[in-house]
A and B are shown apart, each in its own frame.
Chain A
């Protein structure tokens, strides 16, 4: 064949010249020349096909060397249309090699492929199928599906098996092309094929499906696979499938892979597999050929992959030990790998190979070493850790492979942390590790180590501290690498200084030791910084009573050219000046609650300062500056506006209590301006001159008599003041939520009551006061909210009554429509009807009220009756947490337990109820809610536990300091929510 030799000649020259090149540049030159030549030649007309073939082979060569030969792509496509099989094959090969499956040229191929797939020539079909397998893409998948599926029943096995593989690719590309059912049927027919090679191809398809997660779907086929494997190992297949007399090893491997996936975590399926697995392993073990080992290895993988079985595991471990003892590194590697698999199931079978495994580390084979290290790392436990770490450290000492050493270093330190039997051992190992792997000590390693030491020191204490200080000060006597010296310095500075802070001699001794290191040969100046810090820490232990020597050193380093050292030296003197604690942050316990200020706060409060109330500020912020005034009032108000120094003091007191109340009514109305503030200086003036005051009175009338209301106001104010204290105190440490107010307030209360009596008695008699103003007042009530934005403290107490009124109204109404309007309706004034016996307030107030605000119509019942003031109960929320709640619950013994049929059917209902009582919810766990509040009057605490049910049954447990509170709240709930 002359053309053949011709082809060889030119190609030969190309290969030879490329082979002789010394550099990439030379090679490139030749290739560029070659490409030019090819381009012109390929453009010539009437090129004999054989010439084209030869050129394409050269193009393959060019592309293989990494150069672009895209100019031949079109020729390759042309070649596929040739009738000559050799040319067609080359054409398809070039297409497969050159074209991506998103190439635009592919569209030119589709028709040819369709034709060739339908060809009667088996070899054309096979080549076309191979090309389809490589080149098929989403764009053409539809056009090619039909012809490929037809080939599944082709009478040649080569075609059938390739068609199966292509079918899998088609299904991957587009699931719609083949229905799941159809696909399953077709693979099942594949494994039933009379030709084992087709069957083998079908196994691959099952394996892929299983890998994708379709395990359950194919579990019923386990029996089929098991019997196939059985037939194979029993030599039931044709001898052609033997490989070195071993029956179809690749099929065995594939089947084992399938069975592993099927049997994973499934005892039932695994039970079907155990027997055949055992015999497969036995038979594979009998051989001494590589492929036999491959099957053995696959068996071991299968055994460790499926539901574990004792005897099989033992069998596997035995087989693996053969691998490990082999001289062949491949087998050792697989043995280690297999053990890694087994160790995750049971350490037992691995431990006996411990020393063999450790020896594998000595191998000069990288892969093997890495794998072994991995295994050792996995199999180390408390028992074998000493041996293994010792061995590993030995390798660390002897190995010259930096990467391996680094790996070792990391692994050893991890193992040491995890499994070290004793503290001493841990420290010693760490030191050895640092000694031999000092180049691997970086900040992370150090910090991690320090953290461990400090944690241990904190846990164990002095004993451990003495121990490590001893060890490390001993180390100082030797030559040390900088990295270790840093660690030593840290330990002595941090722990030594704490241990010996009462022992100046010892400190001096340590200092001397450290100082000697300053004169030693150091690798870097940063080490000096570490030493200086250490010295500083040692000095600080004795409150900077400096040894002269140290002082001299620091003075010297103040002149240092190294900025870090200089800075440290300067810092040292500054710190020494203030005797600051240099010993580390551990001694500074940050108290976020700043409880150390409690005494001061208390003192200030008693002087009349306002307590801090975060919630109010938040509210104020949330509500915006509806009231332009400053949001906080500090100190007494100048009462110029209202006149009378007395008012001023009074106001101060009031302000103090109210602003801090989280539950304080958020209404600021003109009517409270007058309230009872003005009354003091001149009550009559109030009534006449300030209609707002009257408005307020009438407003309060809804609660009962003006008198009562005032009293309530006062109490409310106190209550809120009380709450202020509470919120304040609970922030710090636990204080029972309810604490008696300073007695100081009592006179105020009385005063207020007195005032109120003076003031409101007349008003209630003269109810008919200017209505418009009243309206104005009330509308203001409902709009102006944040009371702490009110510039005038005096207003504060007066703000409350309206809120109470409104709340009262709300309570009367089963669905408190007003609450959302109010925003913060926590203040509750108790329903008078329950407790009061004597109606006091004249009915006349009512019409007026109705005029004022339609909402208040609901409040008709309350005004009808009034309560003697001492009977009025108001509750205020108590800000306690769950723990405090539990403590209190245990403390109080007045538990009331009832189950009611109520209107409370949801959490919302429950919340509404709690809101109505004006106590607060502490925690909600599903349908159980716990709440706490305090009686504003006598500061007794009320704890409530409730469990609602959608059918309306309500379990309540109320616990309180005063049993009356329990009864009262219960009565309230019964009345309003049942």
Chain B
């Protein structure tokens, strides 16, 4: 299960924050801060996975991190979740963003938090990846958008 999904820019500002377990707001910020610090360890050829040995979220958890353009995509996952699977899930999300925003960049995430979150909600429900089929998600989102425009 995915515990936390974050999108952070390279200067450490949070762009998307989703916690899938009940976590107090203050603790959420601590976790974010430490995860942001962890991004410094990510280099182009290094491993995208970290064990949460310091217990940022929970010592049993793993952290998957991926960097695109100016954004870090960070997922804290529990021991059962597949690291590579999540890594490709992030890829999936980025692909989707590209399709929806056309050449997605950080500003799109900022200006359209509603769309961004809707996109994530299509993929992750209650911390579990329910949909990975890009076409399906795209369809669902497009339908919503057209309905919004029509109204």
Q: Which residues of A sit under 8 angstroms from B143, Cβ to Cβ?
A: 122-123
Query: For the side of the interface on B, what is the size category?
Result: 35 or more
A80-104: contact bitstring with B at CB < 8 Å (1 yes, 0 no)?
0000111001100100110011000
Do A15 and B80 touch (CB < 8 A)?
no
Do A97 and B117 touch (CB < 8 A)?
yes
Is residue B45 contacting chain A, with contact meaning CB distance below 8 A? yes
Do B85 and A253 touch (CB < 8 A)?
yes
Do B140 and A158 touch (CB < 8 A)?
yes
* A-contacting residues, B90-113, CB 8 Å: 91-92, 107, 110-111, 113
Q: Which residues of A sit under 8 angstroms from B51, Cβ to Cβ?
A: 367, 370-371
Min Cβ gap B24→A in Å is 8
Cβ-defined partner of A161 (8 Å) among B29, B110, B131: B131
Is residue A240 contacting chain B, with contact meaning CB distance below 8 A? yes
Q: Which residues of B sit under 8 angstroms from A64, Cβ to Cβ?
A: 14-17
Cβ-defined partner of A162 (8 Å) among B13, B45, B87, B125: B125
Do B88 and A249 touch (CB < 8 A)?
yes
Do A253 and B110 touch (CB < 8 A)?
no
Q: Which residues of B sit under 8 angstroms from A130, Cβ to Cβ?
A: 121, 125
Is residue A761 contacting chain B, with contact meaning CB distance below 8 A? no
Cβ-defined partner of B111 (8 Å) among A11, A127, A293: A11
Given contacts A130-B121, A166-B126, A257-B80, contact A57 B85 (CB under 8 A): no
* A-contacting residues, B26-67, CB 8 Å: 29, 32, 41, 45-51, 53
Q: Which residues of B sit under 8 angstroms from A601, Cβ to Cβ?
A: none
* B-contacting residues, A243-284, CB 8 Å: 243, 248-250, 253, 257
Is residue A294 contacting chain B, with contact meaning CB distance below 8 A? yes
In the complex, what distance in Å separates the CA atom of A122 from the CA atom of B140? Answer: 10
Given contacts A84-B151, A123-B144, A294-B82, contact A169 B126 (CB under 8 A): yes
Cβ-defined partner of B22 (8 Å) among A12, A60, A101: A101
Query: For the side of the interface on A, what is the size category?
Result: 35 or more
Q: Which residues of B sit under 8 angstroms from A365, Cβ to Cβ?
A: 45-47
Do A240 and B136 touch (CB < 8 A)?
yes
Cβ-defined partner of B41 (8 Å) among A165, A201, A257, A366: A366
In the complex, what distance in Å separates the CA atom of A892 from the CA atom of B58? Answer: 67
Given contacts A8-B111, A367-B47, contact A200 B131 (CB under 8 A): yes
Chain B residue nearest to A369 (CB atoms) is B47
Min Cβ gap B138→A in Å is 11
Is residue A747 contacting chain B, with contact meaning CB distance below 8 A? no
Do B148 and A197 touch (CB < 8 A)?
no
Is residue A290 contacting chain B, with contact meaning CB distance below 8 A? yes
In the complex, what distance in Å separates the CA atom of A370 from the CA atom of B110? Answer: 37
Q: Which residues of A sit under 8 angstroms from B84, Cβ to Cβ?
A: 290-291, 293-294, 297, 330, 334
Do B85 and A291 touch (CB < 8 A)?
yes
Min Cβ gap B1→A in Å is 8
Min Cβ gap B99→A in Å is 15
Chain B residue nearest to A1 (CB atoms) is B149
Cβ-defined partner of A330 (8 Å) among B47, B122, B136: B47
Q: Which residues of B sit under 8 angstroms from A168, Cβ to Cβ?
A: 126
Q: Which residues of B sit under 8 angstroms from A127, Cβ to Cβ?
A: 118
In the complex, what distance in Å separates the CA atom of A364 from the CA atom of B44? Answer: 12
Is residue A147 contacting chain B, with contact meaning CB distance below 8 A? no
Given contacts A64-B14, A333-B49, contact A294 B114 (CB under 8 A): no
Cβ-defined partner of A290 (8 Å) among B88, B121, B135: B88
Q: Which residues of B sit under 8 angstroms from A96, Cβ to Cβ?
A: 117
Given contacts A294-B82, A365-B47, contact A165 B128 (CB under 8 A): yes
Do A66 and B129 touch (CB < 8 A)?
no
In the complex, what distance in Å separates the CA atom of A747 from the CA atom of B99? Answer: 117
Chain A residue nearest to B129 (CB atoms) is A250
Do B13 and A65 touch (CB < 8 A)?
yes
Do B114 and A89 touch (CB < 8 A)?
yes
Q: Which residues of B sit under 8 angstroms from A240, Cβ to Cβ?
A: 133, 135-136
Chain A residue nearest to B134 (CB atoms) is A243
Q: Which residues of A sit under 8 angstroms from B135, Cβ to Cβ?
A: 240
Chain A residue nearest to B18 (CB atoms) is A97
Is residue A845 contacting chain B, with contact meaning CB distance below 8 A? no
Do B125 and A334 touch (CB < 8 A)?
no
Do A197 and B85 touch (CB < 8 A)?
no
Q: Which residues of B sit under 8 angstroms from A197, Cβ to Cβ?
A: 130-131, 133, 136
Cβ-defined partner of B110 (8 Å) among A61, A165, A166, A201: A61
Do B82 and A370 touch (CB < 8 A)?
no
Q: Which residues of A sit under 8 angstroms from B83, Cβ to Cβ?
A: 294, 297, 330, 334
Q: Which residues of B sit under 8 angstroms from A165, Cβ to Cβ?
A: 125-126, 128, 130
Is residue A633 contacting chain B, with contact meaning CB distance below 8 A? no
Chain B residue nearest to A129 (CB atoms) is B125
Do B14 and A243 touch (CB < 8 A)?
no
* B-contacting residues, A123-154, CB 8 Å: 123, 126-127, 130, 133-134
In the complex, what distance in Å separates the CA atom of A257 from the CA atom of B136? Answer: 24
Do A243 and B118 touch (CB < 8 A)?
no
Is residue A241 contacting chain B, with contact meaning CB distance below 8 A? yes
Do A201 and B130 touch (CB < 8 A)?
yes
Do A291 and B88 touch (CB < 8 A)?
yes
Do A290 and B87 touch (CB < 8 A)?
yes
Do A134 and B126 touch (CB < 8 A)?
yes
Chain A residue nearest to B79 (CB atoms) is A211
In the complex, what distance in Å separates the CA atom of A226 from the CA atom of B118? Answer: 34
Q: Which residues of A sit under 8 angstroms from B121, Cβ to Cβ?
A: 93, 130
* B-contacting residues, A5-20, CB 8 Å: 8, 11-12, 15, 18
In the complex, what distance in Å separates the CA atom of A340 from the CA atom of B16? Answer: 35
Is residue A769 contacting chain B, with contact meaning CB distance below 8 A? no
Do B87 and A330 touch (CB < 8 A)?
yes
Q: Which residues of A sit under 8 angstroms from B140, Cβ to Cβ?
A: 126, 158
Q: Which residues of A sit under 8 angstroms from B144, Cβ to Cβ?
A: 85, 89, 123, 126
Min Cβ gap B145→A in Å is 9
Q: Which residues of A sit under 8 angstroms from B130, Cβ to Cβ?
A: 161-162, 165, 197, 200-201, 204
In the complex, what distance in Å separates the CA atom of A158 from the CA atom of B143? Answer: 12
Do B126 and A133 touch (CB < 8 A)?
yes
Do A11 and B110 touch (CB < 8 A)?
yes
Q: Which residues of A sit under 8 angstroms from B80, Cβ to Cβ?
A: 207, 211, 257
In the complex, what distance in Å separates the CA atom of A134 from the CA atom of B121? Answer: 10
Chain B residue nearest to A289 (CB atoms) is B88
In the complex, what distance in Å separates the CA atom of A86 from the CA atom of B122? Answer: 16
In the complex, what distance in Å separates the CA atom of A18 from the CA atom of B130? Answer: 35
In the complex, what distance in Å separates the CA atom of A293 from the CA atom of B148? Answer: 40
Q: Which residues of A sit under 8 angstroms from B45, Cβ to Cβ?
A: 329, 365
Min Cβ gap B110→A in Å is 6
Q: Which residues of A sit under 8 angstroms from B118, Cβ to Cβ?
A: 89, 93, 127
In the complex, what distance in Å separates the CA atom of A165 from the CA atom of B2? Answer: 14
Given contacts A85-B144, A133-B125, A166-B126, contact A368 B47 (CB under 8 A): yes
Min Cβ gap A100→B in Å is 7
The 5 A-B pairs at the shortest CB distance, nearest first, are namely A294-B84, A329-B47, A86-B148, A250-B132, A165-B125
- A–B complex contacts, Cβ < 8 Å, 8 sampled: A18-B13, A86-B151, A130-B125, A197-B130, A197-B131, A250-B132, A293-B84, A365-B45
Q: A57-B113, A64-B14, A330-B49 are in contact. List 8 more A-B contacts (CB 8 A).
A: A84-B148, A165-B126, A166-B125, A204-B128, A291-B85, A294-B82, A294-B83, A370-B51
- A: residues with CB less than 8 A from B are 8, 11-12, 15, 18, 57, 60-61, 64-66, 84-86, 89-90, 93, 96-97, 100-101, 121-123, 126-127, 130, 133-134, 158, 161-162, 165-166, 168-169, 197, 200-201, 204, 207, 211, 240-241, 243, 248-250, 253, 257, 290-291, 293-294, 297-298, 329-330, 332-334, 364-368, 370-371
